[in-house]
């Protein structure tokens, strides 16, 4: 019996353990529902009289990943059927309140919280006024939004905090949570929206005052005239016709000219500014003109300056206080140096002392009652000497040149540019003067320019280098207008030499000058070279080809072509004599023969001249007839001469016979006259010089002198030719 009790006890323990370790669902068979859930687990808000909500129950099934719709098989209940009813998963609001809707399927349960209320209606905005004034209290600007519905069907609910508020014109007023904020004059519509309802009201905002006046010492003012340095002026603002004193917001349109604080006006600098006071939408303003008490601030010495380390100089500031009068304000002016490492200032009643402390640049400013003057001081390191890039300069009349670069030598030997600090003078300004920072040439001659550093304003502190002087000798020559050289290229035989050409310079005074010995020559190319011999410089031919001889004189350049070629041993003319008509031209053709027998056209290189240019002129390789007569052309190439005889005759324009038709008896004779007419207008009888012929000598014969003889009956045609022209005569013998 005791053993059975033990076994029962052990069996009970095993059953409890199995129940804990393996819950009932773990043993569910395939197809059994293990749990359920609603398709909408979030809290539902429903409104009485509006559409109900359909809920669905979805079941998790053992052995399947797809949830099963068991809505129809579930048991539905509501914890508050007076507010929420449910049937088949359809949830309907029937009154105001809350309920827990439960769906049961088998042993599984799912719930959802549901809130029901009556629909809202009759949204209203309360406490709104038709008109407001800027400055109204915040309490008077509170609005309230109410609506019927919610917890009761017809009860009124305050929805001010939950409504959405807006203003149609934020420049007039703004609204948030029913609280109005007035901004300016005008009309705006305020709107409240809640639960699909909307309510509006129109509000008008007016200004509390018609105007705002600015007064000084009790008198209204619209503009003020001030001088820099005047005591501040107090303005008051008064609103309305009663002149109520207020505390507006003050502003200045240009604080660099005028500042304002609580109506206190202070003039800062010359100019114009408008001071404005604003209060509750109204504003008043006054134009303020600030002038300097003096017309100009002057510095002595004026302009930018330079110092060497350790040097000092005195600067004064003055103002014009009346015509032809100045007032020393050095002690009252405000002096500043923007780089006190380079330049320090020490002020007294007579001026300010500038002392150079270190190399660098400092801008010094003097200010006095609205007037300002600024200048730059450059501090150079100590120099042991000065050095010019050149000490001689050549110029031509009316020409100019930059002043020479001047270097200062530092104690460590390095150099710095001091060109801009030099003061130059000329010993003879008629020859050369300093103008516009340049050396300007005048008349021909020579003068000396002297350059020094300024030294007068530095007193005993002046650096020793300021006592040094540099000299520049300037030579001025007449300006060359043009260089004249040979008209044709230079020809040189390979291996031989020719002298350099003579060059003439035409000067600006109209004179000509031989500058051959002053020309600086150079030769571009490898065909020839400039060589120095006992007689001077010559051009030597090296190889066949072309080069350019370049000569430079002052600012002018001349270029001359050079041809180097083999030796010519023979010249051959196309013709040794030519007959030309007036005003006609002919090309002269010349062939040259080298030692190897090869030929070259030398027509353009013969340098022809005419013995009688009134009859024939020659240019290059073309000869032109000028007048009747004879002339001889002479040319040469490489020393070989050539001549061409020119005969100029008039041109035959017309040839005419005295008769063009003759009728003669047999045995008779007749002498024909023939006249030649030339382009000069001259006529000549040329019958004896005419060549005659007959088409039928058996009928009519003609002699060399133009005598016609009738031989037998018939007809014949006679032709006479002279100078390329022909005449025809018809002869009938009876």
State yes or no: pLDDT of 325 exceeds 60: yes
Q: Does the domain formed by 33-117 have CATH 2.60.40.1080?
A: yes
Domain 212-291, what architecture? Sandwich (2.60)
d(CA 114, CA 93): 9
Which CATH number is 480-565's, of 3.40.190.10, 2.40.160.20, 2.60.40.1080, 3.60.21.10?
Answer: 2.60.40.1080
Summarised one tens digit per residue, pLDDT across range 344-388 is 999 887 889 999 999 999 999 999 988 899 999 999 999 999 999
Structure confidence by residue, pLDDT tens digits, 50-100: 899 999 999 999 888 898 999 999 999 999 999 899 999 999 999 989 999
Average pLDDT over residues 382-403: 92
Domain regions of the chain by residue span: 33-117, 120-206, 212-291, 296-380, 383-477, 480-565, 568-648, 652-733
pLDDT single digits (tens) 590-633: 999 998 889 999 888 888 999 999 999 999 899 999 998 999 99
Q: Please tell me the chain's helix, strand, coil percentages from 3-state DSSP, rounded to the nearest 5.
A: 5, 60, 35
Of 516, 507, 531, 518, nearest in space to 486 by CA: 516
Is pLDDT at 308 greater than 90 in this prediction?
Answer: yes
Predicted local confidence at residue 335, as pLDDT: 93
The mean pLDDT value for 685-699 works out to 91
> What pLDDT is recorded for position 20?
44
Task: Judge whether 120-206 and 480-565 match in fold.
Answer: yes
CATH of 296-380, one of 2.40.10.10, 2.70.98.10, 3.40.50.300, 2.60.40.1080: 2.60.40.1080
Cβ atoms 342, 362 nearer than 8 A:
yes
pLDDT over 80 at 22, yes or no: no
Sign of the C-alpha dihedral computed for residues 157, 159, 160 and 161 taken in this order: positive
Q: Calculate the average pLDDT of the chain.
A: 89
Three-state SS at 420 = helix
* Per-residue pLDDT at 102 exceeds 50: yes
Q: What is the pLDDT of residue 25?
A: 42
Half-sphere exposure for 31 (CA within 13 Å, toward CB)? 0
Residue 159 has pLDDT above 80, yes or no: yes
Q: Whole-model pTM?
A: 0.45
What is the length of the chain? 734
266-296 tens-digit pLDDT? 999 899 999 999 988 888 899 999 988 887 8
Contact at 8 Å (CB) between 371 and 319?
yes
Model pLDDT for residues 27-41, shown as the tens digit of each residue: 445 578 889 999 887
Fold of 120-206: Immunoglobulin-like (2.60.40)
Residues 123-138: what's their mean pLDDT? 88
pLDDT of 349 reads: 75
Task: Please state, in angstroms and rounded to a whole number, the distance separating the CA atoms of residues 222 and 679.
Answer: 102
Model confidence at 5: pLDDT above 70: no
| Whether the predicted pLDDT of 439 surpasses 80 | yes
pLDDT at 556 over 50: yes
CATH of domain 383-477: 2.60.40.1080
Give residue 161's pLDDT band: very low, low, confident or very high (50, 70, 90): very high
Residue 151 has pLDDT above 90, yes or no: no
Residue 460 pLDDT class (50, 70, 90 cuts) = confident
Beta strands in 460-555, from DSSP E residues, in sequence order: 469-477, 480-484, 490-493, 497-499, 504-507, 512-514, 520-524, 528-533, 536-541, 545-553
Each residue's pLDDT tens digit, 632-672: 999 998 889 999 999 998 888 899 998 999 999 999 999 99
Instruction: Kindly tell me the burial class for residue 380, based on how many C-beta atoms sit within 10 Å of its own C-beta (0-12, 13-18, 19 or more).
Output: buried
Tell me what pLDDT residue 350 has.
81
**Residues 182-192: tens digit of each pLDDT:** 988 899 999 99
- What pLDDT score was predicted for residue 451? 94
Class assignment of domain 652-733?
mainly beta
User: How high is the pLDDT of residue 210?
Assistant: 79
Domain 568-648 sits in CATH 2.60.40.1080: yes
Angle at 452 between CA 451 and CA 456, to 5 degrees: 145
Where residue 358 falls (left for φ over 0; alpha for ψ -120 to 50; beta otherwise) is: beta
């Amino acid at each position: 019996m005791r053993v059975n009790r033990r076994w029962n006890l052990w069996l009970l323990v095993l059953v409890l353990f199995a129940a804990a370790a393996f819950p009932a669902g773990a043993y569910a068979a395939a197809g059994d529902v293990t749990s359920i859930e609603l398709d909408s687990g979030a809290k539902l808000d429903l409104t009485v009289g509006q559409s109900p909500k359909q809920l669905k129950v979805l079941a998790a099934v053992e052995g399947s990943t797809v949830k099963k719709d068991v809505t129809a098989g579930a048991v539905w209940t509501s914890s508050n059927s007076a507010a929420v009813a449910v049937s088949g998963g359809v949830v309907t609001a029937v009154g105001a309140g809350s309920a827990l809707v439960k769906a049961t399927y088998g042993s599984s349960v799912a719930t959802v919280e549901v809130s029901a209320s009556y629909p809202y209606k009759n949204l209203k905005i309360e406490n709104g006024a038709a008109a407001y004034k800027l400055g109204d209290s915040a309490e008077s600007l509170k609005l309230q939004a109410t609506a019927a519905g919610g917890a009761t069907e017809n009860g009124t609910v305050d929805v001010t905090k939950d409504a959405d508020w807006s203003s149609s014109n934020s420049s007039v007023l703004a609204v948030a949570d029913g609280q109005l904020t007035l901004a300016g004059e005008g009309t705006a519509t305020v709107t409240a929206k809640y639960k699909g309802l909307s309510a509006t009201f129109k509000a008008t905002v007016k200004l509390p005052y018609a105007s705002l006046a600015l007064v000084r010492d009790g008198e209204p003012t619209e503009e003020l005239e001030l001088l820099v340095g005047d005591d501040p002026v107090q303005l008051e603002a008064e609103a309305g016709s009663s002149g109520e004193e207020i505390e507006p917001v003050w502003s200045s349109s240009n604080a660099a000219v005028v500042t304002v604080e609580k109506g206190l006006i202070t003039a800062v600098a010359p100019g114009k500014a408008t001071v404005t006071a604003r209060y509750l939408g109204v504003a008043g303003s006054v134009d303020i003109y600030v002038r300097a008490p003096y017309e100009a601030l002057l510095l002595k010495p004026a302009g930018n300056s330079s110092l060497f380390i350790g040097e000092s100089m005195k600067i004064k500031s003055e103002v014009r206080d009346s015509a032809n009068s100045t007032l020393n304000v050095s002690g009252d002016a405000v002096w500043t140096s923007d780089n006190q490492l380079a330049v320090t200032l020490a002020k007294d009643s007579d001026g300010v002392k500038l002392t150079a402390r270190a190399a660098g640049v400092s801008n010094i400013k003097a200010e006095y009652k609205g007037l300002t003057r600024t200048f730059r001081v450059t501090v150079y390191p100590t120099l042991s000497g000065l050095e010019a890039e050149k000490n001689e300069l050549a110029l031509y009349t009316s020409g100019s040149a930059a002043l020479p670069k001047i270097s200062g030598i530092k104690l460590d030997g390095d150099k710095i540019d001091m060109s801009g600090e030099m003061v130059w003078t000329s010993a003879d300004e008629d020859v050369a003067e300093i103008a516009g920072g340049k050396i300007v040439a005048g008349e021909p001659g020579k003068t000396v320019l002297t350059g020094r550093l300024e030294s007068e304003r530095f007193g005993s502190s002046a650096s020793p280098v300021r006592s040094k002087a540099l000299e520049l000798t300037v030579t001025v020559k007449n300006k060359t207008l043009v260089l004249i050289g040979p008209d044709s290229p230079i020809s040189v035989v390979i291996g031989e030499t020719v002298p350099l050409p003579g060059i003439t310079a035409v000067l600006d005074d109209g004179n000509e000058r031989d500058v051959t010995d002053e020309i600086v020559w150079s030769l571009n190319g490898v065909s020839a070279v400039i060589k120095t011999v006992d007689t001077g410089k010559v051009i030597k031919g090296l190889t066949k080809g072309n080069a350019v001889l370049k000569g430079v004189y002052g600012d002018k350049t001349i270029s001359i072509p050079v041809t180097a070629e083999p030796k010519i041993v023979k010249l051959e003319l196309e013709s040794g004599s030519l007959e030309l008509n007036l005003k006609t031209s002919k090309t002269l053709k010349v062939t040259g023969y080298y030692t190897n027998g090869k030929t070259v056209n030398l027509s353009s290189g013969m340098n022809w001249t005419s013995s009688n240019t009134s009859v024939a002129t020659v240019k290059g390789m073309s000869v032109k007839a000028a007048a009747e007569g004879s002339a001889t052309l002479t040319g040469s190439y490489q020393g070989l001469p050539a001549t061409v005889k020119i005969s100029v005759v008039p041109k035959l324009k017309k040839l005419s016979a005295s008769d063009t038709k003759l009728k003669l008896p047999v045995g008779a004779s007749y002498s024909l006259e023939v006249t030649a007419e030339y382009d000069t207008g001259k006529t000549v009888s040329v019958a004896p010089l005419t060549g005659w012929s007959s088409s039928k000598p058996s009928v009519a014969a003609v002699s060399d002198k133009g005598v016609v003889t009738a031989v037998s009956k018939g007809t014949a045609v006679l032709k006479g030719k002279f100078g390329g022209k022909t005449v025809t005569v018809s002869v009938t013998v009876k």
